[in-house]
Amino acid sequence: MDIKDLEKAAKAGTLGRREFIKRAGALGIAAPFAATLLSQSVQAAMPKKGGYFKLGVGHGSTTDTLDPGTHENGFMSDTVYAYANHLFEVDNTQKLVPELAESFEASKDAKTWVVKLRKGVEFHNGKSFGAEDVIASINHHRGEGSKSASKSLLDPLVEMKKTGSHEVTFQLSAGNADFPYILSDYHLAILPEMDGKMDWQAGYGTGGYIIEKFEPGVRIQLKRNPNYWKAGRAHFDEVEVISLIDVTARQNAVMNEEVHVIDRVDPKTVHLLSRNPKIRILETTGTLHYTMPMRVDQAPFDNYDLRMALKLAVDREALVKKILLGHGAVGNDHPISTANPYHNSEMPQRTYDPDKARFHIKKAGMENTQIDLSTSEAAFSGAVDAALLVKDTAAKAGININVVREPKDGYWSNVWNKKAWCTCYWGGRPTEDWMFTTAYVKESKWNDTAWTKGAAVDRFNELVVAARSELDTEKRRTMYYECQQLVNDDGGALVPMFANYIMALNNKIAHDDVVAGNWDKDGNKAIERWWFA
Amino acid sequence: MLHPVVRTILQRLGLGLITLFVVSLILFSSIEFLPGDFGEAVLGQAALPETVAAFRKELGLDLPMHERYFDWLGGILTGDMGNSFSGRGSSGGTDRSRPVIELLAPRLANTLFLASMAAIISVPLALFLGITAALYRGSIYDRMVNAMTLTTISFPEFFVAYLLILVLSSFTKLFPSLANIGPDVDFWERVYLTALPALTLTLVIVAHMMRMTRAAIINLMASPYIEMAELKGASKSEIILQHALPNAWAPIVTVIAFNLAYLVVGVVVVEVVFVYPGVGQLMVDAVTTRDVPVVQGCAMIFAATYILLNLFADIISIITNPRLLHPR
């Protein structure tokens, strides 16, 4: 790596400031000089206004509507983050910051949340933003008739009161320190109130862009909101989001400069695409992970040593290299990604160790037992190959795995959550609590490892509940670290890898050094955060 | 008594309707035998048996097959193709299912536009090439035309499409590689955007029509009446245009109709490559999500297109046939 590469990496945001200086030092460049170099190469890319930005995304459907309760794909979440705001926002460094909220205060038990709202914000139709809009917008997702995707998220919310023209008090049934995170969910957009209800039909928000034209499943056209309240955001004059479902068409479009950015680049051809001098590849590790859940209530997976043997018999590096073609990160047998706030980075990474695996399988006394692993491409692309790879690496540890290929149809109803061991994927959740509550606590219907009995399970469930209402970050961190350790050690979850989001950007596009990994495309906020260099 | 031409046309129309009815029967029962279930496909990880059952009930999938068939057929006869499965309330969110007609109509308009563009370029081109190739049979020109059209038809259409994108879009920047037209794009912009897909389709279908034209004419050139025309001193082009061509229309028109039908029903690959919002893509999407009403709607339209175009070809070959035009 020479200094040019470093500069490029610093510009691309794959290299932090410290790292830049450290590596430049390794190349024999003194720190002060390196710092100047860095500011030259990075600050040359200060946000600039203007331009017509075209974003090609691999989602979009003719059934899309502007009702935020129905949003279910990347196309609509790009859209909603562009034309509307939320009470809170996960910023590009993955920190939760107030957006339409100005400040917030939680009671000690994390049950009562008083949120002060930003003043002087206007909707695109000129209506000024206040507490009634927040109440109408959140209520849209609650109540009997609601079919919103966020309904269950808001179940703990028992009362919502306007305690000032720009203040709302939320009352929860149980403490939840992550409540502001929930309010950053893309479904919970704040749209104008009209006759006590949220008015989504008109398509007015407070966001940096105003909707010009919306053709579901084809494109949406946006123009910059001249009165946008947020400083240093929304740099493009006009934006067009185009639905390009076919991956080849999407890659063609970015190569021919018909769009400036695409998401979901095919890992198989990303090296070819990166050769194009007009294009730069951007990768972030998100929360999407591929798993092989073992149901611990069924033989032979009720045996701790057998589970441990299998966890040690998986060559994670090889899986990332061969199944994700290098575009991912190894997992450590728990669902918390580096994109989550409390990822346990201190826990040692489990690696492929056939000797230790052999020790555990002997201890379990199951050297000759045939263990069935059910798999199908329905779980994730490459799942069958992944299973075969696991079979091979486990054979070296004396474990006999039989790969069962299941039909794609009905995989989620007949195999997953039923068969003792199968392949699976999880899109991941932005917070630890969210993820654990979805798939790891005792009472969850989606507890696909059936991890419901034993001392470790009890401790884990206790911790999850306690951490939920713990407002002290350090204490929470300790609790979540332990949770991850418990899942990693005793749980039935085999989490060998996290997949990367891969995007291709035209060289004209610039962004901050750090790009969020909570979703694709800088947390689905590229429209508001990126600019033309 | 009806004129025999009119009678034949009426007969054909009736036969067409019967065919369409049979198609609807086959279509409905074959979809019935397809494995998989819409509920499971849509709900994915969330497909619990109760939810799937509730879903089937909401969609009326729990009714016996013949009831659903007559419901559907009755709907089609009154111009109502039902509502799409996807976007139903129980798949999460409010009810966003849309009438199949509403989904289909703009896509069909796009498909027909692309098909007409391709037809306007390819049919005259194929006729011209075919006639001239027959005229200069065995010459270098004839061989060149044959070789070139056979080359383009031999490549898979996605390959032709990518070649065109590479040359006309990536290298020379003459045309855009994306043809994702919207409803408010004006006519000339539309023509410009659809240029590459239309060109791709032209290259793919021209050989078939051109070779049929050439073969039909050459075939007739051996007939005694052409010899007669030659003997009376008519020029070669006169012979072909005035004597051979009128009798050659029947096979040519049949092949043209066949290719036009292909332009409407068989262009999924081209649509995908150029992100063209046509019926083909809609149908493929519907098949993958098992959105049966949309699949059925598309298939019926495809069937009707085939039948209508073939009918049209039959009628033209009848009325260009002098023996049928002047019955004794």
**B178:A215 CB<8 A:** no
Residue A149 in contact with partner chain B when CB distance is under 8 A: yes
Supply angle C-alpha B4, B5, B11, rounded to 5: 85
For the packed helices B140-154 and B195-221, what is the interaxial angle rounded to 10 degrees? 130
Find all residues with CB under 8 Å of A411, minimum gap 6, and list them.
A376, A378, A379
Q: Which of B33, B37, B45 to mutate to test the interface with A (most CBs of A within 10 A)?
A: B45
Instruction: Report pLDDT for A486.
Output: 95
State the DSSP code for A361: H
Residue with tokens 């199951």: A366
The CATH label, of 1.10.760.10, 1.10.3720.10, 3.40.109.10, 2.160.10.10, for the domain at B109-325 is: 1.10.3720.10
Query: Using CA atoms, how far apart are residues A336 and A341, in angstroms rounded to an integer?
Result: 9
Q: Report the chain B residue with the minimal C-alpha distance to residue A252.
A: B177
pLDDT score for B90:
40
User: What is the C-alpha to C-alpha distance for residues A8 and A14, in angstroms, rounded to an integer?
Assistant: 9
The alpha carbon torsion through A463, A469, A475, A476 (nearest 10 deg) reads 70
Q: Say how many C-beta atoms besides its own lie within 10 A of residue B314's C-beta.
A: 20
Longest dimension (CA), chain A: 73
**pLDDT tens per residue, range B97-153:** 678 888 888 889 999 999 999 999 999 999 999 999 988 888 999 999 999 999 998
Question: What is the pLDDT at residue B317?
Answer: 82
Cis peptide before B322 (omega within 30 of 0): no
Kindly list the averaged pLDDT for each block of 10 residues, start to end, along chain B of length 328.
Answer: 75 88 89 70 59 72 81 82 64 58 87 93 94 90 93 90 90 86 83 92 92 91 89 88 85 90 87 87 77 86 89 83 64
Taking only the tens of pLDDT, chain A with its 533 residues reads: 444 554 555 444 445 555 544 554 444 444 444 444 444 444 445 788 999 999 999 888 777 788 888 787 889 999 999 999 999 999 988 889 999 999 999 999 999 999 999 999 999 999 999 999 999 999 998 877 666 777 778 888 999 999 999 999 999 998 999 999 989 989 899 999 998 889 998 899 999 999 998 888 788 999 999 999 998 899 999 999 998 888 888 998 999 899 999 998 988 889 889 899 999 999 998 888 999 999 999 888 999 999 999 999 999 999 999 999 999 999 999 999 988 889 999 999 999 999 999 999 999 988 888 999 999 888 888 899 999 999 999 999 999 999 999 877 667 777 888 889 999 988 878 889 989 988 899 888 788 999 998 999 999 999 999 999 888 989 999 999 999 999 999 999 999 999 999 999 999 999 998 898 888 899 999 999 999 98
Contact across the interface for A242 and B43, Cβ inside 8 Å:
no
Kindly state whether B45 is in contact with chain A, defined as any CB-CB distance less than 8 angstroms: yes
CB contact under 8 A, A246 and B182: no
**Of A217, A249, A258, which is closest to B273 when you measure between CB atoms?**
A249
Question: CB–CB of A156/A109 below 8 Å?
Answer: no
User: In A, which residues are within 8 Å of B282 by CB distance?
Assistant: 62
- Partner-chain contact B93 A67, CB within 8 Å: yes
A289-499 under CATH 3.90.1150.10, yes or no: no
Crossing angle between the packed helical segments A17-26 and A31-43, to the nearest 10 degrees: 130
Q: CA-to-CA distance for A373 and A404, rounded, in angstroms? A: 6
Q: Nearest-CA residue of chain B relative to A259? A: B178
Task: Report the pLDDT value the prediction gives residue B326, as an integer from 0 to 100.
Answer: 66
User: With an 8 Å Cβ cutoff, are A258 and B170 in contact?
Assistant: no
Say if A159 is an interface residue toward chain B (CB within 8 Å): no
> pLDDT for B47-82, tens place per residue?
566 667 776 777 777 778 888 888 888 888 887 777
Whole-angstrom Cα Rg for chain A: 24
Distance (Å, rounded) from C-alpha B308 to C-alpha B70? 24
Q: Could A244 and B275 be called an inter-chain contact, meaning their C-beta atoms sit closer than 8 Å?
A: yes
* Domain A207-284+501-532: top CATH class: alpha beta
Half-sphere exposure of B265 (CA within 13 A, CB side): 20
The separation between CA A315 and the C-alpha centre of its own chain, rounded to angstroms, equals 25
- The domain locations on chain B are 4-100, 109-325
Enclosing H/E stretch for A222: strand A219-224
Cα distance between residue A236 and residue A336, in whole Å: 34
CATH homologous superfamily of A85-198 = Dipeptide-binding Protein; Domain 1 (3.90.76.10)
CB within 8 A of A287, min separation 6: which ones? A337, A339, A340, A426, A427, A428, A429, A430, A435, A498, A517, A518
Give the angle A200-A201-A203 at the CA atoms, nearest 5°: 70
